[in-house]
Amino acid sequence: MIRRLLHYSSADARRLLVTELVFIVGTAVLQGIAFLLLVPLLRALFLGDIDAARSWLTAVAAVGAGYVLTTWFASQIGMKASGAMLDSLLSRLGDRLVELPVAWFGADRSGLIAGVATQGAMFVSNMPYAILRQILIGFITPGTVLIGMYVFDWRLAVAMTVMVPVLMIGYRWLRNTIGRGDAVHAEAVADASNRVIEFARVQPALRTAGDGSIADRLVEDALQNQHRAYRGMLVTGGAGIATFAGLVQLSLTLLLVVGAYLAIGGTVDIATLIALLVLGARFNEPIVAAGDLGGGVAVARTTLDQLDRLAAVEALPEPVDPQAPAAWNIEFDDVTFGYGDTPVLRNLSFTAATGGMTAIVGPSGSGKTTITKLIARFYDPEAGTVSIGGVPLPELGTAVVEAAVAPVFQDVYLFDDTILNNVWLGNPELSREEVIAAATRARVDELADRLPGGWDARVGEGGSNLSGGERQRVSIARALLKDAPIVLLDEATAALDIGNEIAIGQAVDAIRSDRTLIVVAHRLQTIMTADQIIMLDGEGGIRETGTHLELLAAGGAYAHYWTERVDAAGWQLAHD
Ligand SMILES: Nc1ncnc2c1ncn2[C@@H]1O[C@H](COP(=O)(O)OP(=O)(O)OP(=O)(O)O)[C@@H](O)[C@H]1O
C-alpha cells in the first residue's frame, strides 16, 4: 500500500510521506518501549519498592514525552502529506483524463470519474494522516513489545509469537473481505451515479413518458443494487472486524492460560505475571485499532485499483516528431472501422478537397457521424488510413488534428454561463468585440437580441434555455472563432423552424469560406449547394459520389432520395 501511495505521489507528497513514515516508526517504537517499561514499574509497585518505582516512572515519563513529541510531528507532517497527496492524485487524474482518447468518455464513465475524483481521492489522501499511522503503529508497537517480552519471559513471548501468524492471516483476510465488498460497492455507486445523472438530464422526456418508464426502472434498479452492495459490505465487513477482534482476544486468552500455568508451577512470581499480562493487553490494543482501520485501507485500495485501470487504458499512438500538414484536403483510403465486431464502414475511400464542402448523406446508422469522428481522431480505423494534407492522422498526432479540426456536433454542450462566454471558448485570446463579430456572423446575435441580458444572458445547464438549432449556432460561432482550417458539421436532424433554418444556413455560409467543410447534411439547402455529395449505401460503403446536379442527372439512388426529401418537405410546408 505504501509503495502504491508513493507511486501516485508528487515529489512533494513523497518527501512528506517518507518523513512522516520515519516519525511514525519512531512513535511506534517509543510507544512499545513505554509499554515495556510498565513491567518493571508495575513490578516495583507490587513489591512496594518505591525507589525503584520512582526511577522507572521517570524513565516511562521520559519515553512518554518523546512519544508525545514524535506523535505531534507525525500528525503535523501527516496532515501536510494528506493535503499534498490529494493535490497529486487530482492532478494525476486530470493529466490522465486529458490523455485518454475522446472515445473512452461515454455517459457510463461520469460516475466512475466522479467517484474517483471525490470520495475515492479523499479516502486515499486520508491514508497518510488518519489510517497509515494507526496501522503502522498497530504492527510496530506490538513488534517492539514482543522483542522486549523475550527479555522478560521467553515462554510468554513464545505464546505471543505463536499468535502472530494467526493474527496476520486474520488481518489479511479481513482486508480482502472488505476490499471485495468495497469493489462491488464502488461499481454499484458508479452505476447509480450514472443513472441518476442521466435521470436528471432527461427529465423533460421522462415527464411525458409518465411513471414506470425505463429510466425510472433503471434508476430504481441501480439504487437498489447500490443499497444491496452497501448492505453486503457492512455485513461482511462487520463480520470480518468481529472475527479479527475474536482472534485478538484469543491471543490474550492464550497468554493468560500460559501465564496461569507458569504461576501455578511457581516459575514466575505473581507481581511479574500481572505486569506481563498488562503488557499483553497493551500488545493487543494497537492491533485491534489497526484491524478496525483495515477496512479503510481496503476502500483506498479500490480507488487505487481504479486509478491503475485508468492508467492502463491505451491511448492512441502519438508520433515522436509530429508532422504539419501542407494542405487541408481529407482522404479516406480503404478505411474499415466498427465499434464492435461488425464494421460500420467497409473499405471506404473518398477525398474531400481543400476549401470545399462535402455533404455526407445516407440512411440512418450508415456511418455518417462515424466518418466525422474518424476525421477528428476520436478513433483510429481498424484498417486503411485517414489523412489530412496527405499525412495519415497517427503521423500528425492528436494535438495537430485537434488544432486543425473544429467539430460542430449535434449534441452541442453549452456551459451554464453567458451566451458570449460560451462562444468565447472557441478562442479565449480574442477581444469581446471580435467574439461578438464572429457570433454575429453565425447569427447568434438574434439570440442576444431576444434574451433578456443580451450577450450576457445565461444559457442554463447544458444550454437548456436554447433550442437545438440555437445551440448549434453557438457551436458554429465557436468554430468560426477557432478559425480551424477544417470544420466538421453534424447538422441537427430535428426539423428546424424557419427562423433557425435561415440562420443556420447563413452560419454555414459564413463558415464554409476558405475552409474544408464536411457536413453530415440534413438540410436540403446544404446538400444542394455542396461541392461534392457522398451518399452512403447503409452497408459500410459509398453508393454514389458527385455534385447535386450530376447525381440528379444520373437518376440513381440519390435522385430518388432527393425527390422523396423534397416531397416530404413540401408536405410539411403544406401542413404548417
Ligand atoms: N459509440 C458507439 N458505440 C457503439 N456503436 C455505435 C457508437 N456510435 C455509433 N454506433 C453505431 O454505429 C452505426 C453508425 O452510427 P453513426 O452515428 O455513424 O450513423 P449515422 O449515419 O450518423 O446515423 P444517423 O443519421 O441516425 O445519425 C450505428 O449502427 C450506431 O448504432
**pLDDT tens-digit series, residues 193-241:** 777 766 766 666 666 555 656 666 777 787 888 788 888 777 777 777 7
Q: Which grid coordinates are listed for 508? A: 454555414
> Residue 389: CB partners within 8 Å, gap ≥ 6?
325, 326, 327, 328, 329, 354
The residue whose CA has the least distance to atom 4 of ligand 1 is 339
The domain ranges of the chain are 1-152, 154-267, 330-412+484-570
Mean pLDDT value of segment 301-320: 85
Query: So what's the pLDDT on residue 571?
Result: 52
Query: So what's the pLDDT on residue 330?
Result: 95
Phi, psi for 361 (deg, rounded to 5): -125, 165
Q: Which of 102, 369, 491 to mutate to test the pocket of ligand 1 (most atoms within 8 A of CB)?
A: 369
3-state secondary structure 179-192: HHHHHHHHHHHHHH
Q: State how far the Cα of 285 lies from the Cα of 289, in Å rounded to an integer.
A: 6
Q: Which grid coordinates are listed for 545? A: 459520389
- From the CA of 536, give the closest atom in ligand 1: 21
The residue whose CA has the least distance to atom 29 of ligand 1 is 365
| Sign, Cα dihedral of 564, 567, 571, 573 | positive
With a pLDDT cut of 90, the percent of the chain lying above it is 24
**CA of 367 relative to ligand 1 center, distance in Å:** 6
Confidence at 573, pLDDT banded by 50, 70, 90: very low
Mean pLDDT value of segment 70-88: 91
Query: So what's the pLDDT on residue 137?
Result: 83
pLDDT above 60 for 368: yes
The residue whose CA has the least distance to atom 16 of ligand 1 is 367
With a pLDDT cut of 70, the percent of the chain lying above it is 91
Q: State how far the Cα of 548 lies from the Cα of 357, in Å rounded to an integer.
A: 12
Greatest mean pLDDT among 169-183, 190-204, 527-541: 527-541
pLDDT digits (tens, 9 = 90+) for 424-482: 887 888 889 988 988 888 888 888 888 888 889 888 776 777 877 788 888 888 888 88
| Helices (H), ranges, 340-483 | 368-375, 393-396, 398-404, 419-424, 432-441, 445-450, 468-482
Mean pLDDT value of segment 480-506: 77
Q: State how far the Cα of 79 lies from the Cα of 101, in Å rounded to an integer.
A: 35
User: CA angle, corner 138, sides to 136 and 141, nearest 5?
Assistant: 90
Mean pLDDT value of segment 103-122: 77
Q: State how far the Cα of 565 lies from the Cα of 558, in Å rounded to an integer.
A: 10
**CA of 446 relative to ligand 1 center, distance in Å:** 33
The structure's pTM equals 0.68
Write out residues with Cβ below 6 Å of ligand 1.
339, 344, 362, 364-370, 520
ipTM of the complex: 0.97
Asked if residues 491 and 519 have their Cβ atoms less than 8 Å apart, the reply is: yes
- From the CA of 103, give the closest atom in ligand 1: 1
The residue whose CA has the least distance to atom 17 of ligand 1 is 369
> Residue 426: CB partners within 8 Å, gap ≥ 6?
406, 438, 477, 478, 479, 480, 481, 482
**CA of 369 relative to ligand 1 center, distance in Å:** 7
Q: What is the mean pLDDT of the chain?
A: 83
pLDDT above 80 for 270: no
pLDDT above 50 for 575: no
**CA of 133 relative to ligand 1 center, distance in Å:** 52
Strand locations in 262-365, DSSP E?
330-337, 345-352, 357-361
Asked if residues 1 and 131 have their Cβ atoms less than 8 Å apart, the reply is: no
Q: State how far the Cα of 229 lies from the Cα of 181, in Å rounded to an integer.
A: 7
Query: So what's the pLDDT on residue 382?
Result: 93
Asked if residues 198 and 107 have their Cβ atoms less than 8 Å apart, the reply is: yes
**CATH homologous superfamily for the domain 330-412+484-570:** P-loop containing nucleotide triphosphate hydrolases (3.40.50.300)
**CA of 3 relative to ligand 1 center, distance in Å:** 44
The residue whose CA has the least distance to atom 6 of ligand 1 is 339
User: CA angle, corner 117, sides to 379 and 231, nearest 5?
Assistant: 110
Q: State how far the Cα of 511 lies from the Cα of 530, in Å rounded to an integer.
A: 13
Greatest mean pLDDT among 105-119, 311-325, 393-407, 447-461: 393-407
**CA of 539 relative to ligand 1 center, distance in Å:** 12
